[in-house]
Amino acid sequence: MRIRLAVIAVLLLGLSACARAPMPAAPPMVAVPQILDPDSVCLQDLATLGVDFQPMASFGDSEQGCGISNAVKVSGAGVPWNRAGVLTCAMARTLVRYQTEVVQPVAQSRFGQPVKRLHHAGTYDCRVRRNNSTKVAASLGGSRGGRLSEHSKGQAIDVTAFELADGTMVSVKKDWRGGADKAAFLHDVARASCSTFNVVLTPNHDRFHQDHLHLDIGPHTLCGY
């Protein structure tokens, strides 16, 4: 009997010891930061906005300092383009806003019809400032040194003309200095572009921009209207 009581006492002590045994420490609660990939968010935006685009692998030329880490090949943003262009996703997204908030309202106001196609002479291009993408710029010899253009980072486009729904062409080269609705449209668009882009260069700015509107979202600010 004494032995049985001793066994029971030992068992109770054991159970008591088990009850008091420290629980294994729970892993500390670590707040995992939610990583939002700006590229994927932007690409999703392009898809939502109906941009005609293809994602591209990042590319660059470290020696020249050119390249794009989140490139897209765009065939139309808001409206089809005369040809595809390579840009950063952010620039493509800005161009949709430009088309819907700047170009189309001005076209409706001036012509009572929308623009159906945007014509441009260049997007990504590994070159220095004062481009030679257009005939006017090339005839002037293009660039001579200087810092890299925003074209070299896919942050710029050279718009040459707007094609209206009825097929009418409104050309920067032919119509900027005219006196009719076409000139008024181009000037309205150029002026309004300064609220969408960081740099806007027009035929008013210098001789290198007689046939196109240079629009970019680079770090500098200049409304060359």
Q: Residues 209, 203: contact at Cβ < 8 Å?
A: yes
User: What gap in Å lies between CA 161 and CA 171, rounded to an integer?
Assistant: 4
Q: Could you tell me the smallest distance in angstroms from the CB atom of residue 133 to Zn ion?
A: 7
What is the x/- site pattern for Zn ion, positions 114-143, by CB under 5 A? Answer: -----------------x------------
- By beta-carbon proximity to Zn ion, the closer residue of 43 and 210 is 210
Q: Of residues 164, 214, 217, 218, which one binds Zn ion by CB under 5 A?
A: 214
Any residues with CB less than 8 A from the CB of 173 and at least 6 apart, and which?
Answer: 136, 160, 161, 210, 211, 212
Q: Quick one: 158 or 211, whose CB is closer to Zn ion? A: 158
H helices of the chain, where?
A: 2-20, 38-48, 89-97, 104-111, 135-139, 172-175, 181-193
* Residue placing its CB nearer to Zn ion in the complex, 93 or 214: 214
Contact between 121 and 83 (Cβ < 8 Å)? no
At residue 5, the 3 state secondary structure works out as helix
Judged by CB under 5 A, does residue 158 bind Zn ion? Answer: yes
Q: Does 188 bind Zn ion (CB under 5 A)?
A: no
Instruction: Give the binding range for Zn ion (CB under 5 A) out of 11-19, 34-42, 72-80, 155-163.
Output: 155-163
Min CB(213)–Zn ion separation in Å: 9
